[in-house]
């Protein structure tokens, strides 16, 4: 299950938009209004996200790559969001937005707030049934992306059967029509293959890492997109020069060499990336160093010193889990949200 | 950017609270944090803490540091202790600050070796803050400064004069008091009853024009009144005094708990709840941040051995504030000015 994509495989990239690709604030009504009224030119991508996605959608490999955006933003924002992506040089193959107005008019208020029914349905609907398929998903910790993406991955892998799925959907209090649609899609897609290679969760809210441990090694919480690039480089999906592009983008966004080096150290300490991978990357970047600016040479120096500092670390990589307790995880997250709402206990505690 | 080096081998819960404070600071402050300690344990503990890994670096330090270790033997018995490694890192980075709840004796001796003394300073001083009745400065700061509280056990009069200059520089920066009032701890208001070094220091301080107001000798019972913004003493007397103040606060707290035993007393306590809460807030040492070690070339904050996360977070904030306001430079300048004036006088 941990193997990365094989040659000649179609790589399907799934992206959430708000807080994953775009820096969006929607914690208050004021934020929501501001986000809604913002022009495409004023919207800002998370540092490194654009460079990472552009590298993944390299024109030479574009035919073998597919990108689907599934966003919780309302359909009324399609024009501005499409324009923003175009400004960033990104043309998604599929771009799904949430029909919030329709949900409100139909009195389906749980669908306005809830994400499980909408996102899981969208993921299943846009599944590409290629024989040789790999998927990499990107989400964030503001909602339930790790939960939804993992559930989707396990449906594809044939690990969540109809009975299990029905009980999960019941716990999530989905409307009947949503359940019917998802169950029908499940019947078609169940056991199509263990195609999801990694699920990257951008830690926008800086949630504790152990909150994602129950999902196993497939879910990789990341503090920034350099970390995602390093993991993808380890899986040979990204090349050294792609890392340089992400690095330079983040550097331009104000990331100091210390912050970048700390991000690498964090991955090594967690066992997500091995010291040998860091050394390999330093060697690979050394080859392009001469043609690049100071950012790259400083980063290489930091990479080498990080590798030297952590030479003693023999950390076991996180385990790949074959069984995930989705119901337990759902109730745990719900309990945390309610504790926050009624008792004011911070979500991060 | 300011770098805060935190020793995570000491403090409440074997340093877990220090790490929790570092995690909080990584989310709230615009600083770089370096946590020093057992890398394995730190990484495992960090998994359960909300933190910003971009702002936090872990540095491994393997040698445990026994609490009762002779400071002079620390180098040999624990050469890679969290204190030694942390101070080494602090010395390497220009804008670094060191925060530790480790044994003060070890921190002082290793800080002097790793960081070096300021040019005009011959002895370092640990400066503790304590709450007083009179508030000071534009921020209405209730805290006064007492130094030294344990770094230099035996002092000469020259050392005490330098301590006065360092303490005044610190108070003027941190509490924004333009001309801090400085007192010399003694056993009475007249110099004749005091030991020779106090008499000599008193005479020197009266003759100096050092940019602070010298208010003369101060008895221990006047310390908490707050007439002096800075009280100067040697490390031995300072340590005894500060521990006495802490002991009184702890005993008062124990008495308050004992008062819960009887129903009538509990009722009385309920009526006094607001006042007691204010008293608790007043004597809550965790809100002070810790004791800065003055006289060394970088900010070093020593917190109490049983410090919790709040004490560490406040110590981190204090360290960042010291860096921002250029406290070390001010201390160096004031100490140099006093030494120069003394040399001119002789």
DSSP string spanning B262-319?
A: SHHHHHHHHHTHHHHHHHHHHH-GGGT--EEEETBSS-EEE--TT--HHHHHHHHHHH
Would you call A313 and B39 a contact, using CB atoms and an 8 Å cutoff?
yes
Within 8 A of A224 by CB-CB distance, chain B residues are 54
Q: What is the spatial distance between Cα A176 and Cα A117, in angstroms, rounded to a whole number?
A: 10
Residue B205 in contact with residue B113, Cβ under 8 Å?
Answer: no
Residue of B32, B47, B59 lying closest to A210 (CB–CB): B47
Residue of A nearest to B41 (CA): A269
Would you call B47 and A209 a contact, using CB atoms and an 8 Å cutoff?
yes
At residue B182, the 3 state secondary structure works out as strand
At residue A103, the 3 state secondary structure works out as helix
pLDDT 10s digits, B41-92: 999 999 999 999 999 999 999 888 777 777 777 777 788 899 999 999 999 9
Q: How far is A191 from chain B (nearest CA, A)?
A: 33
Within 8 A of A207 by CB-CB distance, chain B residues are 50
* CB within 8 Å of B106: residues ≥ 6 apart: B65, B69, B71, B74, B81, B83
Would you call A206 and B51 a contact, using CB atoms and an 8 Å cutoff?
yes
Q: What is the spatial distance between Cα A273 and Cα A230, in angstroms, rounded to a whole number?
A: 8
Residue B277 has pLDDT above 90, yes or no: no
Residue A347 has pLDDT above 80, yes or no: no
Residue B19 in contact with residue B42, Cβ under 8 Å?
Answer: yes
Q: How far is B321 from chain A (nearest CA, A)?
A: 21
Residue of B nearest to A347 (CA): B50
Identify the pLDDT of residue A102: 84
Residue A264 in contact with residue A277, Cβ under 8 Å?
Answer: no
Residue A165 has pLDDT above 50, yes or no: yes
Which letter does DSSP use for residue A213 in this model? G
Residue B256 burial (CB < 10 Å; 0-12/13-18/19+)? middle
Confirm or reject contact between B122 and chain A (CB < 8 A). no
Mean pLDDT score of chain B: 88
pLDDT 10s digits, B209-226: 778 899 999 998 888 888
pLDDT 10s digits, B164-202: 999 999 999 988 888 899 999 998 888 888 899 999 999
Q: Classify the phi-psi angles of B13: left when phi > 0, otherwise alpha if psi is within -120 to 50, otherwise beta.
A: left
Q: What is the spatial distance between Cα A110 and Cα A214, in angstroms, rounded to a whole number?
A: 26
Would you call B53 and A315 a contact, using CB atoms and an 8 Å cutoff?
no
Would you call A210 and B48 a contact, using CB atoms and an 8 Å cutoff?
yes
Please report, for residues B73, B89, B203, the alpha-carbon distance to residue B158 in angstroms, rounded to integers and kept in the order given. Answer: 28, 32, 11
Where residue A1 falls among pLDDT bands split at 50, 70, 90? very low
Within 8 A of B47 by CB-CB distance, chain A residues are 208-210, 213, 270
Residue A188 has pLDDT above 80, yes or no: yes
Would you call A309 and B59 a contact, using CB atoms and an 8 Å cutoff?
yes
Q: Which residues pair with B213 in a beta bridge?
A: B181
Residue of A213, A262, A315 lying closest to B54 (CB–CB): A262
Residue A32 in contact with residue A112, Cβ under 8 Å?
Answer: no
Q: How far is B154 from chain A (nearest CA, A)?
A: 41
Going B98 to B99 to B103 to B108, the CA torsion angle's sign is: positive
Q: Which residue has the higher pLDDT, B266 or B157?
A: B157
Would you call A255 and B54 a contact, using CB atoms and an 8 Å cutoff?
yes
Please report, for residues B18, B275, B290, B291, the alpha-carbon distance to residue B307 in angstroms, rounded to integers and kept in the order given. Answer: 8, 25, 9, 12
**CA Rg, chain B, in Å?**
21
Residue B161 has pLDDT above 90, yes or no: yes
Would you call A258 and B1 a contact, using CB atoms and an 8 Å cutoff?
yes
Going from N- to C-terminal start, the domains of chain A cover: 1-223, 226-321
Q: What tokens appear for A322 in the block?
A: 């074959």
User: Rounded mean pLDDT of A246-256?
Assistant: 93
Q: What tokens appear for B86 in the block?
A: 């942390």
User: Tokens 């609270």 label which residue?
Assistant: B17
Residue of B39, B47, B55 lying closest to A262 (CB–CB): B55
Q: What tokens appear for B43 in the block?
A: 């990484």
Q: What is the spatial distance between Cα B294 and Cα B328, in angstroms, rounded to a whole number?
A: 8
Q: Beta strand B291-294 with B125-136: parallel, antiparallel or unpaired?
A: antiparallel
Least confident window among A173-182, A299-308, B17-26:
A299-308
Burial of B82-99, coded b for 16+ CB within 10 Å and e otherwise, reads bbbbbbbbbbebebbbbb
Least confident window among A299-308, B143-152, B172-181, B260-269:
B260-269
Q: Is the peptide bond before B148 cis (omega within 30 degrees of 0)?
A: yes
CATH number of A1-223: 3.40.50
Dihedral in degrees, nearest 10, Cα atoms A309, A315, A321, A324: -70
Residue of A nearest to B42 (CA): A269
Would you call A206 and B50 a contact, using CB atoms and an 8 Å cutoff?
yes
């Amino acid at each position: 299950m941990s193997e990365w994509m094989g040659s000649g495989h179609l790589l399907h990239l799934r992206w959430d938009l708000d807080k994953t690709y775009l820096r969006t604030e929607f914690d208050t009504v004021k934020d929501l209004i501001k986000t809604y009224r913002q022009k495409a030119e004023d919207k800002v991508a998370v540092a490194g996200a654009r460079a990472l996605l552009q590298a993944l959608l390299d024109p030479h490999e574009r035919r073998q790559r597919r990108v689907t955006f599934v966003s919780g933003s309302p359909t009324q924002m399609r024009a501005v969001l499409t324009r923003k992506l175009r400004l960033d040089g990104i043309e998604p193959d599929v771009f799904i937005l949430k029909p919030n107005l329709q949900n409100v008019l139909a009195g389906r208020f749980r669908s306005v707030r809830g994400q499980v029914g909408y996102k899981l349905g969208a993921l299943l609907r846009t599944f590409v049934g290629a024989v040789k398929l790999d998927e990499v998903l990107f989400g964030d910790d503001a909602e339930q992306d790790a939960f939804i993406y993992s559930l989707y991955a396990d449906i594809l892998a044939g690990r969540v059967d109809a009975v299990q799925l029905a009980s999960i959907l019941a716990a999530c209090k989905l409307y009947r029509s949503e359940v019917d649609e998802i169950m029908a899609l499940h019947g078609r897609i169940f056991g199509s293959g263990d195609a999801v290679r990694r699920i990257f969760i951008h830690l926008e809210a800086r949630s504790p890492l152990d909150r994602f441990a129950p999902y196993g090694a497939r879910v990789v919480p990341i503090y920034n997109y350099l970390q995602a690039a390093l993991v993808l480089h380890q899986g040979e999906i990204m090349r050294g020069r792609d890392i340089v592009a992400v690095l330079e983008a983040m550097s331009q966004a104000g990331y100091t060499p210390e912050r970048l080096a700390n991000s690498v150290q964090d991955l090594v300490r967690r066992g997500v990336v091995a010291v040998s991978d860091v050394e390999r990357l330093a060697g690979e970047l050394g080859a392009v160093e001469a043609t690049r600016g100071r950012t790259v040479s400083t980063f290489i120096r930091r990479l080498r010193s990080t590798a030297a500092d952590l030479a003693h670390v023999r950390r076991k990589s996180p385990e790949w889990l074959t069984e995930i307790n989705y119901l337990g995880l759902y109730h745990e997250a719900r309990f945390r949200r309610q504790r926050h709402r009624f008792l004011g206990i911070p979500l991060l505690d | 950017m300011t770098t805060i080096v935190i020793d995570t081998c000491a403090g409440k819960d074997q340093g877990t609270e220090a790490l929790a404070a570092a995690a909080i600071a990584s989310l709230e402050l615009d600083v770089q944090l370096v946590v020093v300690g057992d890398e394995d344990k730190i990484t495992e503990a960090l998994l359960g803490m909300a933190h910003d890994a971009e702002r936090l670096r872990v540095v491994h330090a393997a040698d445990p540091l026994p609490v009762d270790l002779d400071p002079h033997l620390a180098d040999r018995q624990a050469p890679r202790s969290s204190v030694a490694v942390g101070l080494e890192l602090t010395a390497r980075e220009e804008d670094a600050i060191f925060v530790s709840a480790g044994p003060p004796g070890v921190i002082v001796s290793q800080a002097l070796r790793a960081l070096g003394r300021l040019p005009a300073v011959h002895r370092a001083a640990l400066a503790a803050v304590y709450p007083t009745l009179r508030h000071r400065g534009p921020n209405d700061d209730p805290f006064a400064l007492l130094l030294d509280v344990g770094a230099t056990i035996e002092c000469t009069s020259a050392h005490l004069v330098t301590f006065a200059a360092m303490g005044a520089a610190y108070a003027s920066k941190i509490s924004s008091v333009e001309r801090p009032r400085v007192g010399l701890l003694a056993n009475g208001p007249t110099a004749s009853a005091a030991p020779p070094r106090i008499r000599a220091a008193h005479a020197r301080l009266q003759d100096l024009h050092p940019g602070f107001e010298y208010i003369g000798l101060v008895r221990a019972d006047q310390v908490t009144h707050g007439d002096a913004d800075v009280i100067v003493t040697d490390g031995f007397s300072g340590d005894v005094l500060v521990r006495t103040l802490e002991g009184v606060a702890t005993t008062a707290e124990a008495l308050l708990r004992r008062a819960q035993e009887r129903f009538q007393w509990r009722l009385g306590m309920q009526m006094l709840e607001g006042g007691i809460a204010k008293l608790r807030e007043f004597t809550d040492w965790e809100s002070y941040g810790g004791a800065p070690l003055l006289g060394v070339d970088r900010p070093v904050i020593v917190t109490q051995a049983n410090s919790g996360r709040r004490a560490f977070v406040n110590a981190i904030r204090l360290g960042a504030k010291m860096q921002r306001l250029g406290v070390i430079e001010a201390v160096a300048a004031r100490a140099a000015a006093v030494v120069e004036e003394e040399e001119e006088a002789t």
